[in-house]
Amino acid sequence: MPADTVSVTGWGRTAPTTARLIRPRTYEEAAAAVRDCGARGGIPRGLGRAYGDAAQNAGGTVFDMTGLDRIHAIDADGGTVLCDAGVSLHRLMEVLLPLGWFVPVTPGTRYVTVGGAIGADIHGKNHHVSGSFSRHVLSLELLTADGEIRTAGRGTPLFDATTGGMGLTGVILTATVQLQPVETSLMSVDTERARDLDDLMARLTATDDHYRYSVAWIDLLARGAATGRAVLTRGDHAPLESLRDGTRARRTPLAFRPSQLPPAPAFLPEGLLSRRTVGWFNELWYRKAPRARTGELQKLSAFFHPLDGVPHWNRVYGRGGFVQYQFVVGHGQEDALRRIVRRISEHRCPSFLAVLKRFGDADPGWLSFPVPGWTLALDIPANLPGLGAFLDVLDEEVAAAGGRVYLAKDSRLRPELLAAMYPRLDDFRALRAELDPRGVFRSDLSRRLTL
Amino acid sequence: MKDAFGIPQSLLVLGGTSEIALATARRLIARRTRTVWLAGRPSPTLERSAADLRALGADVQTVAFDALDPESHETVLGKVFAEGDVDMVLLAFGILGDQAHDERDPVAAVRVAQTNYTGAVSAGLIAARALQTQGHGSLVVLSSVAGERARRANFIYGSSKAGLDTFAQGLGDALHGTGVHVMVVRPGFVRSKMTTGLPEAPLATTPEAVATAIELGLRRRSETVWVPGVLRVVMSALRHVPRGVFRRLPVQ
């Protein structure tokens, strides 16, 4: 099989390392690649949207799974799909929307693979209602270190280690996923502003349950009384009768028409996103949002994946790249959340489009990120002076509140904190030691955090 | 593995009693570094340096390493890399010599050249190959402004650093695209035990300042770092000063 030696980074474009990239086109090729991947092991990679080093493997092999991208079977009545793990959510939407089905969970980008969605156990704006992606996975087939293919059903240790397992239990080959029925490809969206963090949390707590999808964009550069001011956008799939007769939308209610701008140029100077420019952007974003608006019809892509409209948007951070920091703290830890938001605001992190969300019940994945509570995600340019030490302080605060950071976004966590954040870590390590005694599956993430 | 800011978790120092290296190690330990190998000639100073770093919370081990014995480098460094990935190798050994004395004692002059240059060629090549095998890591080479333009007062030392500097630049180009990052650090006059008693040159700096510049260079994945940064401009000008004028400059 041809292999290229390439430099690999995550979406944040920090910490590049070199690996042999192999793109299997059949399950047999994938099994052969796993069996012959050499002393430094291998790790599956999808579309490279994990921000940190989860899908890189210095000196070893990276399996590019996007070559295995067939949709095998769709049950259009029961709403399930059986597909290869290399299929993207974008592809699933193209195929399934005309049939009246939507993916059960989508993150902020539809350019992730099904395998990546399971490996990171991703969540979306509907987590408080629908849980994480793995809740909708009925079964999966896993290529393990011995080169064998195993079926993992719900409730088995292998399933729970694999969902959220960051690709370290094996290569997911196929998955059967339960879908969400929809009548249209539009969203009915309510928008409102919250004047500060307390107002925001109160609104989310009071009325989140009325909506299937809910998220708040929060201005982390606002200070003083406005600290934590936010724009809430919440909604659900628009029912057919909400579309006006005679419109194109009504005639073709299930058409999938994402809009796309030209990609960001390959070379952009660093420092485009400074405190000043991001401050202006955030001010504008907050001001342009209506105080309260209900029932606005939006495209799926505008509601779920606004950044997908600009391919390679990660380039705007320049050569230095950026760090995404996402943590969750449980209900009852609102004070910790307030302290962290105040710290970020005082530190003047130039972070645009930071997102706050209320999580619902957790799913059983051992390293699955979501737990009931509050999650905050923010992007920060990696060249911000003192950022490493500042995020370490936030980690301590998060860990002390019983919270955790999201491994799919991590590129810098202090390894000592991991066990406190993920109590099932020892079970995960034990299962890996048994299933993969030679340590075939390894990534830069697993080396850095000794997963 | 290095984190998003280029901070290593494991560090191998070649020249484990170098003040610049120890200042760098202290700085990195304060951030992420947990495993440190101090390679150098066995001595109480080396053990004391290790103990100091251990007190900061790192797991520190010393390794017997002699720059003047290139035949042994493969074995010594091989053992370190066999214990696990090394995220950063800091090539910090070097001696200043005594210019006036060494001009009359060619054997001593050759020892300066062998330590600073040929010893570094051997250790640098071996470290580079090991880093290349693991597909990641930084090789940080302590060069000097003395290698940028020959000065009457220290040209034996300067010529050895010139060789080292050119070697490290070429190595960096050779390793481009392999995942290994080579960074050449060119400090000016550093106030340390190596320079005690010498007249201080303009733009003098400290081991701590060099350590800070190294940490910044790691984050930026810089290929050349001057300490202080203004030396980049100063040396760029000095490089073009005609010999006759340069001889009469007070920097001699």
pLDDT in tens, A380-433: 999 999 999 999 999 999 999 999 999 999 999 999 999 999 999 999 999 999
- Chain B residue with minimal CA distance to A40? B134
Question: Do B124 and B168 contact (CB within 8 A), yes or no?
Answer: yes
ipTM score: 0.93
Q: How far apart are CA A209 and CA A106, in angstroms?
A: 18
Residues of A contacting chain B (CB within 8 angstroms): 5, 7, 12, 14-19, 40, 52-53, 57-60, 320-321, 323, 382-383, 387-389, 411-412, 414-415, 444, 447-448
Told to judge if B157 belongs to the known catalytic residues of this protein, a careful annotator would answer yes
Residue among B4, B135, B179 minimizing CB distance to A323 = B4
Cα–Cα distances (Å) from B214 to A245, A320, B6, B90, B155, in that order, read: 66, 16, 10, 10, 25
Residue whose pair of structure tokens reads 């990935």 in the numeric block:
B85
The token pair that represents A298 in the structure block: 């939006």
Reported as a single tens digit per residue, the pLDDT across B22-72 is 999 999 999 999 999 999 999 999 999 999 999 999 999 999 999 999 999
Peptide bond into A265 cis (omega under 30): no
Distance of CA A378 to the CA centre of its chain: 12
CA A393/CA B5 separation, integer angstroms: 16
CA distance A45 to A113: 9
Q: What is residue B252's predicted lDDT score, i.e. its pLDDT?
A: 61
Spatial distance between the Cα atoms of A370 and A375, rounded to a whole number of angstroms: 8
* Residues in chain A closer than 8 A to B3 (CB atoms): 15, 388, 411-412, 448
**Tokens encoding A135:** 């809740």
**Residue A384, both tokens:** 């911000």
| Ordered structural domains, chain A, with CATH | 67-182 (3.30.465.10), 186-418 (3.40.462)
Whether residue B164 contacts residue B143, with contact meaning beta carbons closer than 8 Å, is answered with yes
Unique residue bearing structure tokens 């390293």: A367
Cβ separation B3–A321 shorter than 8 A: no
**Chain Cα centroid distance, residue A227:** 26
Instruction: Tell me which chain A residues have a C-beta less than 8 angstroms from the C-beta of B32.
Output: 388, 414
DSSP state of A264: P
Cβ of B179 within 8 Å of Cβ of A448? The answer is: no
Buried/exposed A128-155: b ≥16 CB within 10 Å, e otherwise:
bebbbbbbbbeebbbbbbbeebbebeee
- Mark yes or no for CB contact B31/A382 under 8 Å: no
Q: Which pLDDT does position A1 carry in this prediction?
A: 67
**Backbone dihedral angles phi then psi of residue B15, each to the nearest 5 degrees:** 100, 60
Strand partners, A143: A149, A171
Whether residue A412 and residue B177 make contact (CB cut-off 8 A), yes or no, is no
d(CA A437, CA A429): 11
Closest to B63 measured CA to CA, from B127, B141, B2: B127
**Distances from the Cα of A221 to the Cαs of A194, A318, B93, B129, in angstroms?**
15, 21, 46, 46
CB A274, CB A217: distance < 8 Å: no
Instruction: State the smallest CA–CA distance between residue B181 and chain A in angstroms.
Output: 10
> What was the pLDDT predicted at A209?
93
Tell me which residue has tokens 């073709």.
Answer: A252
Please list every residue in chain B whose beta carbon sits closer than 8 Å to the beta carbon of residue A16. Answer: 179
Instruction: List b or e across A204-223, with b for residues whose CB sees 16 or more CB atoms inside 10 angstroms.
Output: beeebeebbbbbbbbbbbbe
Q: Which of B65, B93, B157, B226 is catalytic?
A: B157
- Nearest by CB to A58, which of B31, B134, B177? B134
- How much is the pTM? 0.95
Residue B248 CA to residue B156 CA, distance in Å, equals: 19
* CA-based radius of gyration for chain A: 21
Closest alpha carbon to B33 in B174, B184, B215? B215
Question: Distance between CA atoms of A31 and A149, rounded to whole angstroms?
Answer: 8
Which regions of chain A are under pLDDT 50?
none
Give the domain B10-248 fold.
Rossmann fold (3.40.50)
Taking the CA atoms of chain B, what radius of gyration do you get in angstroms?
17
Query: A88, A53, A50, A52: which is closest to A68 by C-alpha?
Result: A88
> What is the residue extent of each domain of chain B?
10-248
Measured distance CA(A354)–CA(A325) in Å, rounded: 10
Spell out which residues of chain B touch residue A52, defining contact as CB-CB under 8 Å.
4
B4: nearest CB among A59, A60, A382? A382
pLDDT of residue A274: 85
Flag if B219 and A59 touch (Cβ within 8 Å): no
What are the Cα distances from residue A296, in Å, to A10, A158, A186, A191, A447? 35, 43, 10, 8, 47
Name the residue in chain A with its Cα closest to that of B129. Answer: A59
Residue of B nearest to A409 (CA): B4
Phi, psi (degrees; rounded to nearest 5) at B200: -75, 135
CB atoms within 10 A of CB B55: 10
Nearest chain A residue to B133 by CA: give it: A59
Residue contact B1–A12, C-beta within 8 A:
no
The DSSP letter of residue A124 is -
Mean pLDDT on B173-191: 96
The pLDDT of residue B183 is above 70: yes
d(CA B203, CA B27): 22
Give dist(CA A125, CA A372) in Å, integer. Answer: 14
- What residues of chain A lie within 8 A of the CB of B134, using their CB? 40, 58-59
Cβ–Cβ gap A58/B2 under 8 Å: no
DSSP line for A294-350: EEEEEEHHHHH-GGGGSTTGGGGG-TT-EEEEEEEEETT-HHHHHHHHHHHHHHT--
Is there a contact between A411 and B31 if contact means CB atoms under 8 Å apart?
Answer: no
By DSSP bridging, strand B10-14 and strand A373-381 are unpaired
Contact yes or no for A243/A187 (Cβ under 8 A): no
Q: Are B133 and A59 an interchain contact pair (Cβ–Cβ within 8 Å)?
A: yes
| Yes or no, beta carbons of A387 and B220 under 8 Å apart | no
Give the Å distances, CA to CA, from A137 to A70, A103, A178, A413, B240. 17, 11, 6, 29, 68
CB < 8 Å to B6, chain A: 15
Q: So what's the pLDDT on residue A269?
A: 81
Residues of A in contact with B135 (CB under 8 A): 17-19, 40, 57-60
A337 Rama class: left (phi>0) / alpha (psi -120 to 50) / beta: alpha
